[in-house]
Amino acid sequence: MKKTLFLTPLMLFITACIAQQQPLEYNTDKNSLLWEVSGNGLEKSSYLFGTFHMLCKDDINFSNTFNEALKRSDVVYMEMDMDDPATMLGGMMYMTMKDGKKLKDFYTEEEYKRLEDYFNKTLKMPLTMFQTMKPYFLVAFFYPSYMDCDAPSGVEQEIITLCKEYNKEIKGLETIQFQASIFDSIPYEWQAKELLNNIDSADAMKAEFASMVKLYKNQNLDSLAAYINKSDFSEEQYGKVLLTDRNKNWADQLNKLMRKESLFVAVGAGHLPGKTGVISLLKEMGYTVKPLENKKSTQKSEVAILQSTLN
């Protein structure tokens, strides 16, 4: 027994060392949420991962390759520094409309009543709480009602939990101030119209959300991007502000940051594919960007097998 107790930590240590030296496996069919960035003078690879802001908790499963890439990275970058309390606490202030505008200013009495009824009866939330919030931010409250589970969660939130476990620092590519300012550049009248459209077509929105979730779970970034491009935000003036300009800004930041340390970059999956997506932009800069195998393992890990053998 003593010999077994001695061998167990020794063999686990050796196995861990060997695992760290093994290259990560590439995905030949290119359907993956996880990508490796290398070449162009980088000393160490960095990684891109596409997130989905809300899924059923049981659907959020990270692969062994994902965990290994996260462990190898020096620092994690998200759209915002989401483990900073100041980001979350300051969020409400920056979600407020300018010039004292209120939701009632953008609707007829009948339209506002439809909006109010939906919040009260379907979402079980009083609309009076959100009178000064930028209209399109309120769409985020609809997503749980589109989901057939009692435990929705965000992919980003689960990554934050892992970062704490692996002792990884999280930083942001943008600030909450910047993200909120984007919605100041989109007319509140348009946002209010889209908010009401979401309510009036709730069944269609639920079906659309389910289709996007399916594409995400299948890790089909190109199809997901095509689906997003059919949305209202694909209108040239807003798509540029919400996607194209931000992707360019992120790629420029990553070009500098990756030369200093290995990054694990977790941003919305819709930002990665396409001609103006982060993957293409980094390739244009001279980097090699390849998809990694990202399937959840159903087999016991080497360590688990080793433990059961020694015990």
Low-confidence ranges of the chain (pLDDT < 50): 1-21, 232-235, 298-311
Q: Which of 250, 233, 251 is nearest to 242 (CA)?
A: 233
How far, in Å, CA of 12 to CA of 307, rounded?
Answer: 8
CA angle 230/232/234 to nearest 5° reads 60
Look-up of token digits 């982060």 = 278
Give CA–CA dist 303/299, Å, rounded: 11
Query: Among candidates 256, 90, 237, which has minimal Cα distance to 176?
Result: 90
Q: How confident is the model at residue 22, as a pLDDT? A: 60
Q: Report yes or no: 170 and 160 within 8 Å, Cβ to Cβ.
A: yes
pTM for this prediction? 0.84
